[in-house]
């Protein structure tokens, strides 16, 4: 009976986390995109994130253009502030990130080459989004940044990977609200049939993407 109750509580928390935790799934937006776009889901270690063309997101968040210039692509990831911002992590950081609600950051990396070249050593899945889907993904990424009273992004720390920068984010990090749940919510925002609550690991994200792409007759926009 005790075990059954524990499982029920965990299951309820997982379900609640799918719809009640920030950043939220985006269901509509005033953002407009002009054409279908290829975006990428990338796995790097325990993290997953999105690689997208830089131009449109820079028009929504001009501080990114000020910071990164004319990079053709940008990678976006979301995670625990202490763990994500440190190249050298310890067990204390890990345990706190998993079991205690903690502040979050968005990491932005300028990607100077085509993603399939830049991430040749990483697991990468491509996704062709129509213009409406792309607008929803842009809205989801944009809404993940915390902004001050002047609608400005808040830098927290220089990144340790490539030309990168961390920014204060919306939401708190904990066991049922991880970087991979964030990626799943981005995919849910573009109307993919994914259950964010159950996407705890990077493998679960990439497996979903692999299965999805096997069902598509066209993976590349324009192909």
18-73 confidence digits (pLDDT tens): 444 789 999 999 999 989 999 999 999 889 999 999 999 999 999 999 999 989 99
Q: Is residue 11, in this structure, part of any structural domain at all?
A: no
Tens of pLDDT, residue by residue over 96-143, are 445 567 899 999 999 999 999 999 999 999 999 999 999 999 999 999
More confident site: 68 or 17: 68
Q: Is residue 89, in this structure, part of any structural domain at all?
A: yes
Q: Write out the residue range of the structural domain in which residue 190 sits.
A: 30-214
Name 108's bridge partners.
Answer: 76, 165
What is the count of structural domains for the chain? 1
Q: Is residue 7, in this structure, part of any structural domain at all?
A: no
Q: Is residue 220, in this structure, part of any structural domain at all?
A: no
Q: Is residue 21, in this structure, part of any structural domain at all?
A: no
Tens of pLDDT, residue by residue over 66-85, are 999 989 999 999 999 988 88
pTM above 0.95, yes or no: no
**How many distinct helices (H) and strands (E) make up the chain?**
9, 7
For residues 42 and 119, the answer to whether their CB atoms sit within 8 Å is yes
């Amino acid at each position: 009976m005790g075990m059954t109750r524990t499982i029920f509580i965990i299951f309820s928390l997982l379900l609640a986390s799918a719809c009640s935790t920030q950043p939220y799934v985006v269901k509509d937006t005033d953002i407009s995109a002009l054409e279908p776009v290829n975006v990428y889901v990338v796995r790097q270690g325990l993290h997953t994130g999105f690689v997208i063309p830089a131009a449109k997101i820079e028009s929504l968040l001009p501080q990114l253009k000020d910071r990164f210039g004319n990079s053709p692509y940008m990678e976006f990831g979301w995670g625990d502030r202490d763990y994500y911002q440190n190249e050298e992590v310890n067990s204390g950081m890990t345990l706190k990130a998993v079991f205690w609600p903690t502040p979050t950051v968005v990491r932005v990396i300028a990607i100077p080459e085509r993603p399939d070249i830049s991430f040749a050593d990483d697991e990468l899945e491509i996704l062709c989004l129509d213009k409406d889907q792309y607008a929803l993904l842009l809205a989801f990424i944009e809404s993940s940044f915390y902004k001050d009273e002047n609608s400005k992004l808040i830098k927290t720390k220089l990144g340790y990977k490539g030309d990168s920068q961390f920014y204060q984010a919306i939401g708190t990090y904990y066991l049922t609200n991880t970087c991979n749940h964030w990626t799943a919510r981005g995919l849910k925002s573009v109307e993919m049939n994914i259950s964010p609550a159950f996407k705890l690991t990077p493998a679960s994200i990439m497996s979903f993407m692999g299965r999805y792409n096997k069902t598509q007759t066209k993976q590349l926009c324009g192909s």
